[in-house]
């Protein structure tokens, strides 16, 4: 039988071995492993990352997630309120699990022509998952007719988040708007990243007159009122341009304004890096200066750039939403969250159909998720900090 002192010594050796193995694991870990280990301890950032991943998945497969196409309408269902979803249905054989929504009848006021929808308990429209409906082309390549959720029988009026003033499904249009609004933020930040890294790197690496010119330009851009500047630039976009060209114009417009903050951060980092041994060694080896900036100095702050970019995407999304809401950004038939919120611009619309504000909930969710994700990445970008 093992004595107590011997057992204590064995436990101490095991603990020491585990501690040594853990320390050895940290010693051989690379930068990205350290970042991941610290990031996954941030519960809120992990949840925000899952929400962000879900939003981009919805944007990528919008046709599959949406019950209807973005332009499908029904004049008989204008301002139809969101129905209550029932899970249990009474049948001759007793109650059974069958998700459905009740039917409705319409009463029209002869004086104001206001529609009033009354629930019809005698009619039920079943809903289901992976149902067949309108045909669509996924990414313009594959013709499919399967939708994640919708009416189990094609043609049934099932609008899970209600309908707008033209009888279009609010849920479907919000899902399609996810693609445009989220992609504007991603593409816009990509262009801002390119401008910020190059101009900020040149400013911090060369210094002198070049640094002064770039920094004064940044100060001028940052001192201008944002919304009037957007309005002035958006007014320069011709009304005759097709929607796709307007989309790219708005993306470039947001990028030309959004690169300044990243350029400042890159400049400050490069000012401290250009005297490091590896930069001096590369310069002595005859490496071209642009190559030193892009291949030696920029990768050393990749984690910080990723965190900055993640925090910049919500600003791009809010900017596109604000421009489209004011009517100087994207315009119909393009569907974005800002365009959809134009339906709720006045008190009468909100009083009549408050569900038209649902795209605003999508904006808040996306912005909060990206901000929490960016905060987590920013904390994890320096894994050696306690």
Q: Which residue has the tokens 């045909």?
A: 135
**In terms of domains, do 207 and 294 share one?**
yes
Q: Which residue has the tokens 């969710």?
A: 365
pLDDT value at residue 224: 81
pLDDT tens digit sequence for 192-205: 888 888 888 888 88
Number of domains in the chain: 2
Q: Which long-range contacts (CB under 8 A, 24 or more apart) does 291-296 make?
A: 292/205, 293/198, 293/201, 293/202, 293/205, 294/197, 294/201
pLDDT value at residue 47: 94
- State mean pLDDT over 320-348: 81
**In terms of domains, do 152 and 179 share one?**
no
Cβ-proximal residues to 146 (8 Å cutoff; 6+ apart), any chain: 64, 130, 131, 132, 133
Categorize the per-residue pLDDT at 221 as very low, low, confident or very high, splitting at 50, 70 and 90.
confident
Position 46 in a domain: no
**In terms of domains, do 278 and 362 share one?**
yes
Q: Are 203 and 215 in contact (CB under 8 A)?
A: yes
**In terms of domains, do 150 and 182 share one?**
no
**In terms of domains, do 145 and 190 share one?**
no
Which is more confident, 108 or 384?
A: 108
Kindly report the pTM of this predicted structure.
0.80
Residues forming a β-bridge with 105? 118
Cβ-proximal residues to 22 (8 Å cutoff; 6+ apart), any chain: none
Nearest to 355 by CA among 55, 62, 78: 78
pLDDT value at residue 172: 93
Q: Is the model's pLDDT at 233 over the cut of 80? A: no
**In terms of domains, do 180 and 87 share one?**
no
Count Cβ atoms within 10 A of the Cβ of residue 150 and give its class: 0-12 exposed, 13-18 middle, 19 or more buried. buried
Q: Are 320 and 178 in contact (CB under 8 A)?
A: no
Categorize the per-residue pLDDT at 65 as very low, low, confident or very high, splitting at 50, 70 and 90.
very high
Domain that holds residue 364: 52-56+174-380
Position 39 in a domain: no
Give the residue from 158, 193, 212 where a domain finishes. 158
Position 237 in a domain: yes
Using H for helix, E for strand and C for coil, what is the string for 232-271? Answer: HHHHCCCCCCCHHHHHHHHHHHHHHHHCHHHHHHHHHHHH
**In terms of domains, do 219 and 368 share one?**
yes
pLDDT tens digit sequence for 154-195: 888 889 999 988 889 999 999 999 998 888 888 888 888 888
Read off the CATH number of the domain in which 357 is found: 1.10.3720.10
Position 17 in a domain: no
pLDDT tens digit sequence for 31-62: 778 778 888 888 899 999 999 999 999 999 99
Determine if residue 286 is left, alpha or beta; phi over 0 gives left, psi from -120 to 50 gives alpha, anything else beta. Answer: left
Residue 245: CB atoms within 10 A of its CB come to: 12
Give the residue from 100, 127, 158 where a domain finishes. 158
pLDDT value at residue 93: 73
pLDDT value at residue 347: 74
**In terms of domains, do 95 and 231 share one?**
no
DSSP state of 143: E
Q: Is the model's pLDDT at 23 over the cut of 80? A: no
Position 12 in a domain: no
Categorize the per-residue pLDDT at 298 as very low, low, confident or very high, splitting at 50, 70 and 90.
confident
pLDDT value at residue 60: 93
pLDDT value at residue 63: 93
Which is more confident, 30 or 337?
A: 337
Q: Are 250 and 331 in contact (CB under 8 A)?
A: no
Position 94 in a domain: yes
Give the residue from 131, 158, 185 where a domain finishes. 158
pLDDT value at residue 382: 66
pLDDT value at residue 14: 57
Residues forming a β-bridge with 169? 163
Position 203 in a domain: yes
Q: Is the model's pLDDT at 20 over the cut of 70? A: no
Nearest to 282 by CA among 300, 269, 262, 309: 300
Nearest to 54 by CA among 65, 44, 40: 65
Give the sheet arrangement for strand 115-138, strand by strand. Answer: 85-91, 94-108, 115-138, 142-151
pLDDT value at residue 313: 83
**In terms of domains, do 252 and 376 share one?**
yes
**In terms of domains, do 197 and 147 share one?**
no
Average pLDDT over all residues of the chain: 82
pLDDT value at residue 361: 92
Categorize the per-residue pLDDT at 296 as very low, low, confident or very high, splitting at 50, 70 and 90.
confident
Q: Is the model's pLDDT at 73 over the cut of 80? A: yes
Position 72 in a domain: no
**In terms of domains, do 265 and 229 share one?**
yes
**In terms of domains, do 236 and 284 share one?**
yes
pLDDT value at residue 383: 55
């Amino acid at each position: 039988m093992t004595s107590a002192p011997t057992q204590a010594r064995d436990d101490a050796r095991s603990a020491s071995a585990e501690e040594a193995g853990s320390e050895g694991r940290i010693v051989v870990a690379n930068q990205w492993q350290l970042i991941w280990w610290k990031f996954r301890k941030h519960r809120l950032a992990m949840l925000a990352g899952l929400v962000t991943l879900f939003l981009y998945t919805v944007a990528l497969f919008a046709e599959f997630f949406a019950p209807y196409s973005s332009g499908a309408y029904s004049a008989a269902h204008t301002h139809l309120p969101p129905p209550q979803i029932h899970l249990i249905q009474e049948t001759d054989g007793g109650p059974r699990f069958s998700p459905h929504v009740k039917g409705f009848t319409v009463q029209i006021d002869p004086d104001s022509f206001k529609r009033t929808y009354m629930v019809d308990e005698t009619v039920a429209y079943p809903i289901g998952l992976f149902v067949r409906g309108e045909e669509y082309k996924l990414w313009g390549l594959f013709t499919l007719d399967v939708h994640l959720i919708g009416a189990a029988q094609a043609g049934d009026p099932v609008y899970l988040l209600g309908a707008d003033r033209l009888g279009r499904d609010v849920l479907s249009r919000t899902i399609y708007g996810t693609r445009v609004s989220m992609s504007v933020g991603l593409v816009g930040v990509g262009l801002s990243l390119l401008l910020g890294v190059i101009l900020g790197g040149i400013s911090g690496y060369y210094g002198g007159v070049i640094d002064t010119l770039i920094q004064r330009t940044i100060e001028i851009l940052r001192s201008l009122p944002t919304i009037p500047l957007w309005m002035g630039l958006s007014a320069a976009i011709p009304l005759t341009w097709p929607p796709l060209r307007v989309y790219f114009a708005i993306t470039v417009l947001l990028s030309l304004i959004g690169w300044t903050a990243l350029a400042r951060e890159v400049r400050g980092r490069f000012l401290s890096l250009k005297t490091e041994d590896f930069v001096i060694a590369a310069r002595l080896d005859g490496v071209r200066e642009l190559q030193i900036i892009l291949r030696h100095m920029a990768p050393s702050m990749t984690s910080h750039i990723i965190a900055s970019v993640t925090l910049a995407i919500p600003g791009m999304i809010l900017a596109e939403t604000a421009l489209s809401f004011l009517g100087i950004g994207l315009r119909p038939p393009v569907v974005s969250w800002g365009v959809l919120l134009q339906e709720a611009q006045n008190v009468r619309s909100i009083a009549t159909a408050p569900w038209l504000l649902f795209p605003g909930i999508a904006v808040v969710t996306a912005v909060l998720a990206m901000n929490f994700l960016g905060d987590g990445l920013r904390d994890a970008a320096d894994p050696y900090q306690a």
